[in-house]
Every structure is written in C-alpha cells, then in structure tokens.
Amino acid sequence: MNVYLNIALFFCGAVVAQGRAPTILGGWMHHENPSSSLKFFNLAFQAFAARVSPPYLRGINLKVVKASTQVVNGVNYKLEVEKAEVSCGFQQLAWPATYYNWNPYKNLLCWTGKVLEVCTIQLHENIRAQKVIIESFDCRKP
C-alpha cells in the first residue's frame, strides 16, 4: 500500500511540475508586425552591413516583412526583408519665402521607392557569447 501511495505522489508531482514547465523548445514562433521591432531591424541591418561594402546602405530602406524565432541552444531567426531605394528632396517653399523660416532639416522629405530585392536571412544568436552568426543570406528580385 505504501508503494502505491509513493507512486501516486510521484505521479501527481510530475503532473504539477510539467504544468509549470515553459513551452516546448524548438518550435518556430511567427511574429506579427515585425517591422516595428528594433531587434529584427538591427539583425537585418547587421546582415546587410556584413554583405555590402561602405558606405553600406546609403540610399536604401530595409523593411522586415516576416520574422520567425526558434529557441534552441540560443535563438534562431528567419527574416524576410525588403530592400527598397529611398529618394529624398527638399520641400518647395511658397512664394514669398519671407513668411517661412528656412530650415533644411524641416524641409527635407524622404520617401521609399520600388522594392529592389527581397532577401531571406537566417541567423543564429548565441546568448552566452552574445554573438550573431549569419547562416544563410539569399536575395531574389520581387
């Protein structure tokens, strides 16, 4: 009888411990609205900066369209990034210009042009070493 009681207590303890365990590691988690995440943008920028020579991404806009993470021995990232050209110009002032204070920073307008490439980037972040490794970097025309 004592053996059955010990087995029952062990089984109940295992069920309670399993209920408190975090989600199972290894599955991919898809993120909504990844373009608003600074982490995903920084990872995409690091990947592009490693592939492009200086002045790096001058005249280029990056937008993270899709992002997924997988927790393993570190964190795996899958990013889909749109690379688009950026154009900037100065806003035309109304005449006479005496009514407006000329400030080039307020009058500068930039807009995103057509998408040049869509890139799929896979990265692995080693949390202990705080190092990000680019595992694959493939770009295609949209």
Give the range among 6-10, 16-20, 61-65, 91-95 with minimum mean pLDDT.
Answer: 16-20
Residue 67 in domain: yes
What pLDDT, on the 0 to 100 scale, is given for residue 20?
47
Residue 131 in domain: yes
What pLDDT, on the 0 to 100 scale, is given for residue 83?
92
pLDDT tens-digit profile of 110-120?
Answer: 788 899 999 99
Number of domains in the chain: 1
What pLDDT, on the 0 to 100 scale, is given for residue 50?
86
Residue 59 in domain: yes
Question: Residue 49 belongs to what domain range?
Answer: 25-140
Residue 8 in domain: no
CB-based contact 119:142 (threshold 8 Å) = no
Range 39-43 average pLDDT: 95
**CATH number of the domain where residue 122 is located:** 3.10.450.10
Return the CA Rg of the chain: 25
CB-based contact 101:17 (threshold 8 Å) = no
65 vs 45: CA distance, rounded Å:
14
Residue 47 pLDDT > 70, yes or no? yes
> Residue with structure tokens 């110009």?
89
Residue 57 in domain: yes
Residue 13 in domain: no
98 vs 115: CA distance, rounded Å:
39
